[in-house]
Amino acid sequence: MRSLVFSISFLLGVAYTALFFYLLKKSYNFIQFNAQWMFAKIFYVVLMFFSLFRLISFWAICFFTSYILDRARLSYVLLSIPESLFLSSFLVLFWILASVYYYTHLMSYNPIEGQIRYPKRLKKLGAVGLIISALWVIGEIILYALFAGRLISVSSMEFQLMISNVAAFVLIVIFYCYLMFEYRNSYCKSSDAKKLSIQVLRVTLIWGLGRVLHILFYYTEALDFSSNDVHPPFDTMSENIPAAILLLDYLVNEIFCIYLVLRKQFFYIYSCDINSLPTTNSFLPNKTNEDFIDPSMIEDPNDFSWINSYDDPIIKEENIQIHIKVPSKKQLLGIIYRGVYNGHHVLIKRVKFTKISKYMIDQLIQEVVITKRLEGTHLLPLIGISTGSSHIDFVSPYMTNGSLFSAIHQRNSFFSYKDKLRIARELAFSLRNLHYQRQIHGHLTSHNVLFNKDWKVLVSDAGIEYFRKYAGLVLKYSNKSAWSSPEQLKDETEVVATFHPSDDSYSYGMILWELFTNQEPFPNMHWTKFKNMVKRGYRPSVPKSVGDGIKELILSCWNVEPKLRPGFSKIYMTVCMIEAQDPAVQ
């Protein structure tokens, strides 16, 4: 029997030694962990101590087999202390699971800041988990002190650990049900984000199942709760459980479980930006509603004083009169209708969904409130939204002269050089005001540069980025276009969620080129080829006819280094100087 114990201890000693040094090696990756994963480091430190105790225990049993087996309490302590540490790591694993579920779902996206938000409750959950883990360890120390004083029997200690193992599995099941309920109406940010959340969930369930199997393999065979006799654990196991099952117990239920959380795919969670995880590469050009309206069919309000930015963002559906569907040759986000709201002509963009979550509506309302309160004489206001059982309507004023894109490429409108400089100035002024308000457009194109009755510029489609992200997941919408910066094109998500001022500067440069050359950027070019060309630094050629000042401004906006692109204060001043120096303007 003792030779069998020696063999088992030797094999497990080698296995846990390898595990310990593998943990040490992986600990080097701690420096790559993002700030929000500070508690995850503690999880791996606990596992490191666990594996250290395990290897010490098995090597001690291996080299001092007779001495330890003759002392039942000592042999029990060597085997059970590491298990107490292993159980304490479950609470931190719960926190990791909760955090991953939060960050991979749309609930973590902040429509105000356009980035991931780190909720206080996650931080509190991590702190509570650490406190409970610490209390668990303290409680175990007290129990082992009582056990050393022979005030508690081996059977009582084993029973306590068995209940703890069962409780760990039950808590995992309860926590799983809670997550399924909490996120029942929330989509993952991308297909890869979904894979990450499923991966962590599976690992957690495997850990819990491993505890149940550990009980079935060991405790139910090793214990006789009707007796207070003290049996050396290895004596009992060697009599009742085949050595192969014992090895399987430790190798599968402990070593394999730890290996799952040490894999490269699992560590990727702690260093990646989950908000921009890659998904599919489908492309849908970002157009606006106004490009396909016949200006002669409806009057232009030209005055937005009737729109109160502090009005309720929710419009009752019965207050909107839909007149006619606007024909479109392009695939847009939603169906466009002309209509009337409170006696004013409006455009209604209706976006249909198979289901609409209450959380998404709440976030959208937040975004609409922010968008309605953006200030600027050259920003097209959003009147509000109307929600139905399976659709959302976006209501905005109708603009008689449509978009810059339609004016240049569809209606062949003529703009003098003086007009072009004015348009460039008004557009720069609008974006300067937008950036002053800590807002970035992010998907600026000539489609959302609109004209009122007097051909004054108004910029549309600013804001509501959370909704676009949601539409990207559900409807495969994309906010990338031929005007997008190289940095946005490198982002493999359907909808780019994080914008930078330099993105708008690049797009402005492309619109400026389009305005002064009367050419569409990258027409009829395959999307993949276009992306690769732009990412490699290719830009349209700028003819001399645009003027030296405009050419220099366009090229500076297209700079391959985002930090070197001019901001809109500088762009606006530059255009004003060019306009003031141009004889045609005088």
Domain positions in the chain are: 2-276, 289-581
Pick the CATH number of 289-581 from 1.20.120.420, 1.10.510.10, 1.10.260.40, 3.20.20.140: 1.10.510.10
Nearest to 371 by CA among 496, 459, 500: 459
Which letter, b or e, does each residue of 294-304 get, where b requires 16 or more Cβ atoms within 10 Å of its Cβ?
ebeebebbeeb
The C-alpha atoms of residue 363 and residue 502 are separated, in whole angstroms, by: 26
Q: What is the pLDDT of residue 72?
A: 65
Nearest to 516 by CA among 404, 434, 430: 404
355: left (phi over 0), alpha (psi -120 to 50) or beta: beta
DSSP 66-103: HHHHT-HHHHHHHHHHHHHHHHHHHHHHHHHHHHHHHH
DSSP 270-334: HHS-GGG------------GGGG--GGGS------TT--TTS-SBPPGGGEEEEEEPP-SS--SS
Nearest to 367 by CA among 303, 286, 442: 442
| The two structure tokens encoding residue 583 | 């004889």
Full pLDDT tens readout for the chain, 586 residues: 567 777 888 888 899 999 999 988 888 777 777 766 777 888 888 889 989 988 998 898 888 877 776 676 777 777 778 888 788 787 778 778 887 877 776 554 443 333 444 456 666 766 777 788 778 878 888 888 888 888 887 778 778 878 888 888 888 888 888 888 877 666 666 666 777 888 888 888 888 888 887 777 655 544 444 444 444 455 544 454 556 777 777 888 888 888 888 888 887 777 665 544 443 332 233 333 333 333 333 333 445 656 665 467 788 877 888 777 765 545 557 777 888 888 888 888 888 877 777 777 887 888 788 777 766 667 788 888 888 777 888 888 888 788 898 888 888 788 889 999 999 999 999 898 888 888 888 888 888 898 888 888 888 877 777 777 777 666 666 767 888 888 888 876 665 657 789 989 999 999 999 999 998 888 878 778 888 888 888 888 888 888 899 999 999 999 999 999 999 989 999 999 988 887 665 5
Torsion of CA 131, 134, 138, 140, to 10 degrees: 120
The C-alpha atoms of residue 194 and residue 473 are separated, in whole angstroms, by: 11
Q: How far apart are the first and last CA of the chain?
A: 105
Q: What is the pLDDT of residue 564?
A: 93
Enter the CATH code of domain 2-276.
1.20.1070
The C-alpha atoms of residue 6 and residue 59 are separated, in whole angstroms, by: 9
Q: What is the pLDDT of residue 559?
A: 92
N residues, the chain: 586
| The two structure tokens encoding residue 463 | 């804001």
Q: At residue 353, what are phi and psi to the nearest 5 degrees?
A: -130, 155
The C-alpha atoms of residue 174 and residue 208 are separated, in whole angstroms, by: 11
Say if CB 172 and CB 208 are below 8 A apart.
yes
Nearest to 259 by CA among 16, 53, 79: 16
CA 429 to chain centre: 33
Q: What is the pLDDT of residue 276?
A: 46
The C-alpha atoms of residue 53 and residue 269 are separated, in whole angstroms, by: 28
Q: What is the pLDDT of residue 196?
A: 80
Cβ-Cβ contacts under 8 Å for 549 (sequence gap 6 or more): 574, 577, 578, 581
Kind and range of the H or E run holding 170: helix 154-182
